[in-house]
Amino acid sequence: MSKMYKWVMVLILLIIVVSGGMAVLTIWKGGKGIAVPPLKEMSLVEAVDEANRIGFKVKVEQIESNLPGGTVLAQWPDPGARMKKDTTVVLKVSKGGNRLALPDVRGLEYSQALKKLEEAGFQVGDIIRVNDDSRAAGTVIAQSPAAPVMVESTRKIDLLVSQGQISQNGLIAVPDVLQRQEQIARKLVEESGLSVANVEYVYTQNSPEGMVISIRPKVGTSLKRGQGVILQVASMKKTVTEQKAETEQLQIAAPGLAPSVSVKQSESQAEVASKPKSVTQTGTLVPVMPPSSKPQSQQSSTVAPVSKPSQKEAITKPAPLPAGSKIAKIRYQVPPLTKQMPLKIEMVDDRGTTVLLNRDVKGGEYISLEAPYVDEGVVTIFLGGEFVWQDRYR
């Protein structure tokens, strides 16, 4: 019995020793594991082949990216981690596809925004129209996705479009279409429920050709649906009336024409006949001698020469301001220049066009002006004869 007990105990101890040794050996070998290789930036095929060669399984997840399709963007576990054989390695791979830069179409008229999106390679998705007191009907208020962003070319762009102000008592407010191109302004007026009764083309250098510079009735005026408004559009061509008026002004200013004569009422006809008459011409006061029997050549010798005023120094003086006029504070920094260039600043308001500044300036020169205006004023700056800036004061 005692021998049997001893053999049983020896067998149990042997089993314990062998099991412990195998456990230690398994833990020692298994704990070391296999190092996960770096698979990032490989192609999917290369990454899978490398993982399988070492003894890992692979799971693929596709995500949005600008990189070519099939490129490994990330992996888990990280490179260098030691894992057991047959462990699953997760690879995040680029979907690829054509991604384009989405333009910002906020503030554009709907058809203009649609054209810009199509030119960029996109299609319009859902269109939601809402009333907006601050934007004319047909103006794009917002877009989704918001720009700037890179978007798949197949992604449709949703737009939020203004329907204009809520009509009160069946009346519609005249939309603000100032500083927009004529065709765009027409569409905005029509989409608001009004119509364009007439378009007046006004010669001006204060605004780019084709831009709406005024609207009658004024912006915000309530009209019945279908009523017409009048647009004033900037033009570089003078009308026949304007050309005729300019020709008449040039003829009046030209020497040799019959001048107007101003005579004091207290003087007698004899005194008037004996005194030279004064004529106001552009820049100088010219004496005109009375008729005599002397030859014309002798008479002309007594006439003072006429000097033309410098155009750069000619500043238009505005008419007296009515009550309630406002002051526009104009600030402009001349860009760096290699030589002096002519700078011209004009103001257009209800009184007409006023030249505020017209002279040569140096690069970096800072211009500071305060100009009065009535109701609404538009300030335009030309540098070297080219349009560079415009602002509206209200």
Rounded-to-integer distance, Cα 275 and Cα 156, Å: 86
DSSP string, 86-132: TPEEEEEEE----EEEPPP-TTSBHHHHHHHHHHTT-EEEEEEEE--
Q: Are 54 and 88 in contact (CB under 8 A)?
A: no
Count of other CB atoms within 10 angstroms of residue 194: 22
**Any domain includes 135:** yes
CB 205 within 8 A of CB 382: yes
Q: What is the pLDDT of residue 250?
A: 57
Q: Which of 144, 162, 180 is the endpoint of a domain?
A: 162
Q: What is the pTM of this model?
A: 0.38
Nearest to 388 by CA among 332, 336, 318: 332
Whether 371 is covered by a domain: the verdict is yes
Are 179 and 134 contained in the same domain? Answer: no
The tokens of 248 are what? 């008449």
Tokens of 37: 């290789």
pLDDT score for 282? 39
Reported as half-sphere exposure (CB side, CA atoms, 13 A), residue 375 has a value of: 8
Match 């007439």 to its residue by tokens.
Answer: 198
CA R_g for the chain? 42
Q: Cα–Cα distance between 171 and 234 in angstroms, integer?
A: 29
231 and 175 in a single domain? The answer is: yes
Q: Are residues 158 and 181 in the same domain?
A: no
* 12 within some domain: no
CATH for 372: 2.60.40.2560
Q: What is the pLDDT of residue 23?
A: 63
Kind plus residue range of the DSSP H or E element containing 190: helix 182-191
Q: How far apart are CA 367 and CA 344, in angstroms?
A: 11
Q: Are 157 and 182 found together in one domain?
A: no
Residue 117 within a domain = yes
Q: What per-residue string of b and e applies to 131-146 under the rule 16 or more CB within 10 Å gives b?
A: ebeebbbbbbbebeee
Return the pLDDT at 304. 43
The number of folded domains in the chain is 4
The pLDDT, as a whole number, for residue 232 is: 92
Q: State whether the Cα torsion 235-240-245-251 is positive or negative.
A: positive
Q: Is residue 126 part of a domain?
A: yes
Domain finish residue from 212, 235, 258: 235
Of the candidates 67, 97, 127, which is a domain's last residue? 97
**Host H or E run for residue 15:** helix 2-32
Do 175 and 230 lie in one domain? The reply is: yes
Residues in the chain: 394
d(CA 193, CA 170) in angstroms, rounded, equals 11
Helix, coil or strand: residue 393: strand
Same domain for 194 and 150, yes or no, is: no
Eight-class DSSP state of 6: H
Q: Tell me the CATH number at 206.
A: 3.30.10.20
- Write out the residue range of the structural domain in which residue 370 sits: 326-393
Q: Residues of the chain whose pLDDT is less than 50?
A: 30, 256-314, 316
Is 254 part of a structural domain of the chain?
no
In a domain, 247, yes or no: no
User: For 290-334, how does the pLDDT look when each residue is reduced to its tens digit (9 = 90+)?
Assistant: 444 444 444 444 444 444 444 444 454 555 666 678 888 898 888
| 140 closest CA partner among 165, 110, 181, 185 | 110
Answer yes or no: is 69 within a domain: yes
